[in-house]
Amino acid sequence: MAKLDLARGRRATLLIATRKGLWQLSADAPRRKWRLTGPHFLGHIVHHCAADPRDSKTILAAVRTGHLGPTIFRSTDRGRSWHEAQRPPAFREGSGRIVDHTFWLAPGHASEPRTWYAGTSPQGLFRSEDGGATWEGVDGFNEHPMRKTWCGGDQDGTPDGPTLHSILIDPRDRQHLYIGMSSGGVFESANRGADWRPLNAGVKADFLPEPTPEFGHDPHCVRQHPVMPDRLYQQNHCGIYRLDRPAERWQDIGVSMPKSVGNIGFPMVVHPRDPDTIWVFPMDGTKVWPRTSPAGKPAVYRSVNGGKSWQRQAAGLPKTQAWLTVKRQAMTSDQGSPVGVYFGTTSGELWGSRDEGRTWKCLAAHLPHVYAVEVA
């Protein structure tokens, strides 16, 4: 997802979506001092919140509560005031399907300034042409005759519900889209979502009877490099991968991670300018999948060569007995120079680095379970 340019003078603001509301964390120009404001929607589950880089003022939040159904709130003044969508994402009446929650929000192509996309749980794809006020299903996906085969049933999939995430719009071509699905895999559309095909060759799915199927994979987070859109990265349930289009086969770049750390995690972060630099946050994927920092020693791993090798970046992070979990939307980067990298934990901490991961500082603590962190 494109992000706002700090070089243009805007100070970094992080949108922190949590299980109990939305907070904003704003920095001074050098990103040394941070100020936490909020909450918005206290008590509401905010699965995702995204700012629009096309107008620098619109923010959308995907909201529900434990007892009320899902909706979308919109702000056109950078979060000072919010208005509910008139028609939130909902499956076609008669389809039998129910949106449990909107999981992923993505601003559309730069040439379509009012267009947004939303991915839901269970897997559904929706589009708004009016800045998020009203939403329509993308029938090419939701009604695709292969959808259920690709994704399984709505009750299948991951414990928090199967999700459609990582909606990527090719900056060179508004018709060219990618999505990631847990479960399902990575899919590509060349016609703005009218049809889709799986794009998973080379990716393992070792939890299935056929370990290298055409679909059925569990990508956790897929990213497209903004200045080299033919380069994709994904943190998968079964490793870390890179794909350089027009190639069709993903390259396993998790094999070069230290064996004691493993190649399991949820987020994937790309450098805004250098296509070879990426960050992941490894978590324990052994036995019952604790999904906490391996051995209780949290670290970010960075590669500066497209995943050929990785460096541990843990300066400033707790050295031991720190069992952090970072969800797939809860790690991001800004556009600063050097780049700022940020992650939020399920234990309510927000960590940041203003030197591309070399040193880390806890910027906020005592927040609710962090679901997503985005730069606004």
Residues that bind other proteins (CB under 8 A): 65-69, 71, 84-86, 88, 90-99
Element (H, E) at 125: strand 124-128
The length of the chain is 376
Residue 265 DSSP SS3: strand
Task: Walk across the sheet containing 231-236 and list its strands.
Answer: 219-224, 231-236, 239-244, 251-252
Closest distance of CB 79 from other proteins, Å: 17
Alpha carbons within 13 A on the beta-carbon side of 255: 8
Chain-centroid distance of CA 87 in Å reads 24
Q: How far is the CB of 37 from other proteins (least distance, A)?
A: 20
Of the pair 3, 19, the CB lying nearest other proteins is at: 19
**Alpha-carbon distances, residue 96 vs 31, 146, 202, 206 (angstroms):** 48, 17, 34, 31
Rounded to the nearest whole angstrom, what is the least distance from the CB of residue 98 to other proteins in the complex?
5
Instruction: Give me 248's structure tokens.
Output: 């069709």
The dihedral formed by the CA atoms of 225, 226, 228 and 231, expressed in degrees to the nearest 10: 20
The least CB distance from residue 372 to other proteins, in Å, is 20
Query: For residues 171 and 2, is the Cβ–Cβ distance under 8 A?
Result: yes
Amino acid at site 216: G
Q: Minimum distance from CB of 162 to other proteins (Å)?
A: 17
Comparing CB distances to other proteins, the nearer of 98 and 255 is 98
* C-beta of 65 vs 149, nearer to other proteins: 65
34-60 burial, b for 16+ CB within 10 Å, e for fewer?
A: bebebbbbeebbbbbbbbbbbeeebbb
Helices (H), 52-161: 139-142, 147-151
Based on CB atoms, which residue is closest to other proteins, 81 or 95?
95
Return the closest-CA partner of residue 376 out of 98, 37, 19, 43.
Answer: 37
- Least Å from the CB of residue 282 to other proteins: 28
Question: What is the closest distance, in whole angstroms, from the C-beta atom of residue 138 to other proteins in the complex?
Answer: 16
Cβ closest to other proteins, residue 88 vs residue 254: 88
Closer of 91 and 150 to other proteins (Cβ):
91
Q: Look at residue 45 and give its three-state secondary structure.
A: strand
Q: How far is the CB of 142 from other proteins (least distance, A)?
A: 12
Q: Which is nearer to other proteins, 69 or 113 (CB)?
A: 69
Helices (H), 228-296: none
**How many whole angstroms separate alpha carbon 229 and alpha carbon 142?**
26
Tokens of 199: 């794009």
Cβ proximity to other proteins: between 67 and 366 the closer is 67
Q: Report helix, strand or coil for 149.
A: helix
Q: How far apart are CA 180 and CA 162, in angstroms?
A: 11
The nearer residue to other proteins, 118 or 232, going by C-beta atoms, is 118
> How far apart are alpha carbons 2 and 172 in whole angstroms?
13
- Give whichever of 34 and 82 is closer to other proteins, judged by the CB atom: 82
Query: What's the closest the beta carbon of residue 364 comes to other proteins, in angstroms?
Result: 20
Nearest distance, CB of residue 351 and other proteins, angstroms: 24
